[in-house]
């Protein structure tokens, strides 16, 4: 595909309605349904083993964004911060939460862990965490 064709298709691709009132308050509104679709597919096609890890990752991004993060010590320092629930053995991502700024509902650590481990309470899993910067 040529670059011109890519930009023509990209101009027609739109994932969300800008007139929706949620677009004013939710920074991830435009990709929310797309993200949910991918997460559903990840969970449908992978059976978790007992060893899981919750870790942070940086998705490289150099454009302008209100929730762009800098994490010292990462190979890619600037980007979109995401928290991942993944298999410790294979690295397969089972659940992902994109950090779009401070949330008000719960304490940060408790809310993140509860959200990541939702619907996994009935199974026996060992969850590891490696120095997440909350």
pLDDT of residue 92: 84
On whether residue 17 sits in a domain, the answer given is: no
Which position has the higher pLDDT, 111 or 94? 94
66 burial level (CB within 10 Å; 0-12, 13-18, 19+): exposed
**Residues contacting 34, CB < 8 A, separation 6+:** 15
96 DSSP assignment: E
Work out the pLDDT band at 39, boundaries 50, 70, 90: confident
Does 12 fall in a domain?
no
For residue 20, being part of any structural domain is answered with no
In a domain, 25, yes or no: no
Phi, psi of 100 (to 5 degrees): -115, 20
DSSP string, 37-72: HHHHHHHHS----SEEEEEEEEEE--S--TT-EE-T
pTM of the shown model: 0.72
Q: Confirm whether 26 is domain-assigned.
A: no
Least confident residue range of 54-58, 78-82, 106-110, 119-123: 106-110
> Mind listing the pLDDT tens digit for each residue in 72-108?
887 888 898 888 888 888 888 888 888 877 766 655 6
Q: How confident is the model at residue 134 (pLDDT cuts 50, 70, 90)?
A: very low
Per the domain annotation, does 45 fall within a domain?
A: yes
Which domain range does residue 64 map to?
Answer: 31-129
Q: Cβ atoms within 10 A of the Cβ of 79, count?
A: 18
Q: Above 50 in pLDDT, residue 8?
A: yes
Q: What is the DSSP letter of 22?
A: H
Q: Distance from CA of residue 13 to its chain's centroid?
A: 21
Residue 8 lies in a domain: no
Q: Is 80 domain-assigned? A: yes
Question: Could you give the number of structural domains in the chain?
Answer: 1
d(CA 20, CA 24): 8
């Amino acid at each position: 595909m040529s670059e011109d064709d890519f930009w023509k298709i990209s101009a027609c691709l739109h994932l969300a309605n800008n007139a929706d009132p949620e677009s004013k308050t939710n920074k991830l509104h435009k990709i929310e349904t797309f993200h949910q679709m991918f997460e559903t597919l990840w969970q449908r096609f992978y059976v978790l083993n007992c060893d899981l890890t919750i870790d942070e990752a940086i998705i490289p991004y150099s454009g302008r964004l209100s929730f762009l993060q800098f994490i010292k010590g990462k190979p890619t320092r600037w980007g979109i911060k995401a928290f991942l629930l993944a298999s410790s053995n294979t690295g397969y991502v089972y659940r992902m939460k994109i950090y779009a700024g401070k949330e008000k509902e719960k304490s940060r650590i408790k809310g993140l862990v509860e959200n990541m481990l939702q619907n996994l309470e009935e199974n026996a899993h060992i969850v590891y965490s490696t120095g997440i910067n909350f």
